[in-house]
Amino acid sequence: MSIKDTVSSSYSKWLDASGPESDIVISSRVRLARNLVDTPFPHLLGHENADKVIYAVQTAIGNEKIKADIGELELSRMTELTPTERQILVEKHLISPDLLEHPEKKAVVLRNDEVVSIMVNEEDHLRIQCLLPGLQLKECWDLANKVDDGLEHILDYAFSEQVGYLTACPTNVGTGLRASVMLHLPAMVMTQQINGVLTTLSKLGLTVRGLYGEGTQASGNLFQVSNQVTLGLTEEEIVDNLIMVTMQLVSQERAARLALYKEQQYQIEDRVWRAFGLLKYARTMTSNDAMGLLSDLRLGVDLGIVPNIPPGLIMELIIMTRPAFLNKLKGKEMNPYQRDIYRAELIRQRLNSF
């Protein structure tokens, strides 16, 4: 699948709810920050040096050994994509919003299954990302390492024997590794446990963000939990620590769901079926309303209240009903009210097929 196909499809592998603990853990992601030696960091790059970095990455991914070990990788300059297509890559979590700034200096590399992506000239020269469904942090880490090792045989990374990999932001110095999980925690939100949990996580050296990472608020009861510190820890320690904490959160959320359903069965069932009814029959739907209702429906599916709805469909609907993707599907720029009408129409169509 080409990058043009990627921005035309609402499906991504990380959405399919096929991984371990996928009733709570939506996805796992590992990112590695790498920079090229003797080259200014991206925020200091002129156009000529930015082009050199892009060319170096383009040459590296064309290496036959990398193709054999990792698969076919396709590079696209950000200027080759429309603004809507760039935003869709953000909405699908394949790139960060930072890659949208100064697109003439930046590029993205994607594997056709969207599991591997590389952001070129974002905050660092390379941000190698692996993204899988459910709790698969070790699998993400293994694949990211394979990509990293392959590129390091060709590209000369900026590295210090004293501190490790050199990065534009000091918080990434060392391993350059950011591991994160996306969690669906509706019961902890409903029972007001979530604030205490977030406080505890910050004391453990973890940070919690919303659906689209830094600077975003939690929406649809979706939270991203990631490591804050990369220096002084090994990659294995970072990954193992996050897995341990994630399993504790999974246990807490499951316990909260069971207790909530036991104590308030009719209220929970009413909330879930009301969400289903609105999603299935509403004629307009704002983005925030859709996120909240889809979260309630997903809870109902996971609790067995609503049968025959694939959990992966609900996550796909979250991506499909984001503003840029709606504009892409419609083939034109719509105003917010037009999007609300089209969003409701799409949700009705998909749910009615089940």
Q: Give the annotated binding-site residues for ATP.
A: 27-31, 93, 127, 178-182, 209-214
Torsion over CA: 293, 299, 303, 309 (sign): positive
Using a 10 angstrom Cβ sphere, with 0-12 exposed, 13-18 middle and 19 or more buried, the burial of residue 88 is buried
Residue 254: HSE in the Cβ half-sphere, 13 Å Cα cutoff: 11
Cα-based distances in Å from 70 to 65, 117, 150, 236, 319: 8, 11, 8, 21, 26
Confirm if 39 and 60 have CB atoms less than 8 A apart.
Answer: no
Binding residues: 27-31, 93, 127, 178-182, 209-214
State the DSSP H helix or E strand holding residue 210, giving kind and residue range, or none if neither: none
Assigned token pair, 138? 């070790």
Confirm if 44 and 341 have CB atoms less than 8 A apart.
Answer: no
Nearest C-alpha neighbor of 249 from the set 169, 186, 335? 186
Nearest C-alpha neighbor of 239 from the set 89, 133, 139, 162? 139
Distance separating alpha carbons of residues 19 and 242, to the nearest angstrom:
17
Q: How far apart are the first and last CA of the chain?
A: 27
Assigned token pair, 245? 């904490």
Distance separating alpha carbons of residues 252 and 259, to the nearest angstrom:
11
Confirm if 123 and 37 have CB atoms less than 8 A apart.
Answer: no
Amino acid 220 reads: G
Within 8 A by CB and 6+ apart from 271, the residues are 296
